[in-house]
Chain A
Amino acid sequence: MRKRDEKPRPAPHIAAKIITMGAFSLLLIPLLAVVMYSFFAPVSEAGGLVWRPSLMWYERLLQDQLLGQTLILSLQVAAVTSVLASLLGVTGAMALERTKFPGRRLLASLTVVPLVMPELVMGLASVIWFAFLGIKLGVHTIMMAHVTFALSYVVITVRARLADFDTSLEEAAADLGATPGQVFRTVTLPLIAPAIVAGAMMAFTLSFDDFLISFFTAGAGSDTLPMRLYSMIRFGLNREIYALSSLLIVVTAIGMAVSYKLRVGPNI
């Protein structure tokens, strides 16, 4: 963020304010409604079914063992994706930003492709490719497909950081006799560490949230949490969905708040 003395900005037209309020209602009310509904359960009373405050859906959720398994699987996939995408992304970003080689521009544009390509195309392209190679679908195929789209985010954040800081620091270290390995470990790595962490977190979140690519590349019995949620919605009237959705909404909001707090310190 640029630091400037900010002049007061013109107040938006009343119509813009009304549209803004409408937009936030559209974005937030559905999520709030789901959270609210998750705390009510039907009780039969004299007049028929009445909705009363209850933690019933959360209790059901805790008893759902299959759900626990899919959660663990999703966390594993996200962790492996995040580590692999970071390794490939950081070396790739270093190469793109600090070295010259034939095909550098081609590689740079290829890393952006997964950001703009519809997930659907990524999913079906992977599944065709795995079928052609005779690779059986399973957890490993989900991971391979996830790494492919997640590494783009690592490359972009790390490259931006590398382009941002002064290469004279690296040059000074090299002039003072540091080997390229030492320069990387003692100068470059500490400077790009925040970008690597941000990229790795992004990769983790994207992998954990992904539905469509997993849907294509998962084999039988390797359902991730979003896939389980989808089939709960698609094939049942199971009201645990409210509780599970609420938990995911709350976790997202807390994650946002934490990363905001963390960023407030060094960055602003």
Chain B
Amino acid sequence: MKHKGGGLALPLALWLGAFLVLPVAFVAIYSLLKRGAYGEVIWTLSLHNYARAMDALYLGIFSKSLMLAALTTCVCMIIGFPLAYTIATASKTWRSLLLAGLMVPFLTNFVVRVYAIRVILGVEGPINHALMASGLLTEPLMMTDSLFAVAVGMVTNYLPFMTLPIYVVLEAFDFSLLEAAADLGARGWTILFKVILPLSRQGLVSGATLVFIPVLGEYMIPDLLGGARTMLLGNLITEQFLKARDWPFGAAVAMILILAMLGSFAVQRALAGKGATLAQA
């Protein structure tokens, strides 16, 4: 029953136009402007901000952010896949318990979760307490305010984003395929790499996108766990807006983030497409 006329769609279309499309278009426009002496915006178009972003200092920040996002994605996948598999193969009662165990941290306020990591790794935290009490250490380990703490924070916070899409695929997985593979003589690793992993490609690919993109633009985790020395893409952009008040440069760096995001979508589509044909075959 399809009616004609999109009057009903008008409120949504107008809202998204006014608060999504135009704002993002203005990020692109602002990235071409210049900052005045008092943080105001000067309306002359140039690629000046993009040229500045190519400075070695900023390229270093980009590559560090990209590598951290890639590392987080890999670690989340290595932990998330067995985790999703264990949940998907558990009995019904266990499955809902384990899912709840995954959802409570997932739904807990983000600031609280990041803070909890800081507490755990902190000088007064339980890890340091245990190490000192056991006599392994005489001085507490400084684990916060480091790239290591940032990586731990990223993996902990984004693990559910990787696990849930993989779980959705494995929950509907036809496990009799494993028996078939075993009957035909395949061993453990062969079954994993030739049967299970290719058939869970969709989940792996969407999980990877759901982790990689937000980690690349993450602000709070590097800010609360990385200390003053750890500058990543998200902090660079935020500082341009809130501290340096160089909005045009901040907008240019944000455009680079948007391009990286679009790039990873293109990769996702290509990979998921192949997975789809594989699943149909």
Contact = CB atoms under 8 A, between A and B. Distances in A.
Contacts of B89: 9-12
A142 interface: no
Interface residues of A, number: 92
A129 B22 contact: yes
Contacts of A180: 3
A128 B25 CA distance: 10
B11 A88 contact: yes
B103 A19 contact: no
Interface stretch (A21-29, A53-61, A63-71, A191-199): A21-29
Nearest to A144: B19
Interface in B198-251: 209, 213-214, 216-220, 223-224, 234, 237-238, 241-242, 247, 250-251
B112 A34 contact: yes
B15 A151 contact: yes
A20 B220 contact: no
Interface in A13-50: 13, 15-17, 19-20, 22-24, 26-31, 33-34, 37
A96 interface: yes
Contact of B214 (A23, A29, A113, A118): A118
B188 interface: yes
Interface string A110-152: 1101101111110011111101100000000000110110010
A124 B237 contact: yes
B201 to A, nearest CB: 19
Contact of B258 (A12, A104, A121, A255): A121
A188 to B, nearest CB: 11
A76 interface: no
A255 B26 contact: no
A104 B6 contact: yes
Contacts of A94: 8
Interface stretch (B52-60, B170-178, B271-279): B170-178
Contacts of A26: 155-156, 159
Given A33-B125, A117-B261, A125 B26 contact: yes
A121 B24 contact: yes
Nearest to A230: B111
Nearest to A15: B82
B257 A121 contact: yes
A139 to B, nearest CB: 16
A153 interface: no
Given A23-B159, A30-B119, A121 B217 contact: yes
A144 B16 CA distance: 11
A158 B1 CA distance: 17
A189 interface: no
A144 B116 CA distance: 30
Contacts of A148: 15-16, 19-20
Contact of B12 (A13, A102, A111, A205): A111
Nearest to A26: B156
Given A91-B12, A111-B16, A132-B26, A229 B254 contact: no
Contacts of B8: 91-92, 94-95, 99
Contacts of B175: 7, 9-10
Interface string A201-229: 00001000101100110000000001001
Contact of A101 (B4, B101, B160): B4
B140 interface: no
A62 interface: no
Contacts of A229: 109, 111-112, 115
A200 interface: no
Contact of B156 (A27, A33, A87, A104): A27
B203 to A, nearest CB: 16
Contacts of A186: none
Given A233-B118, A252-B104, 12 more contacts: A16-B85, A27-B159, A28-B101, A34-B116, A110-B21, A118-B257, A120-B218, A120-B237, A128-B30, A249-B108, A256-B107, A257-B100
28 contacts: A12-B85, A13-B188, A19-B78, A20-B82, A20-B86, A24-B98, A26-B155, A31-B113, A33-B116, A87-B11, A91-B11, A95-B9, A99-B9, A100-B4, A101-B4, A103-B13, A111-B16, A113-B20, A118-B234, A119-B217, A125-B24, A126-B23, A127-B241, A148-B19, A171-B1, A248-B109, A255-B107, A256-B103
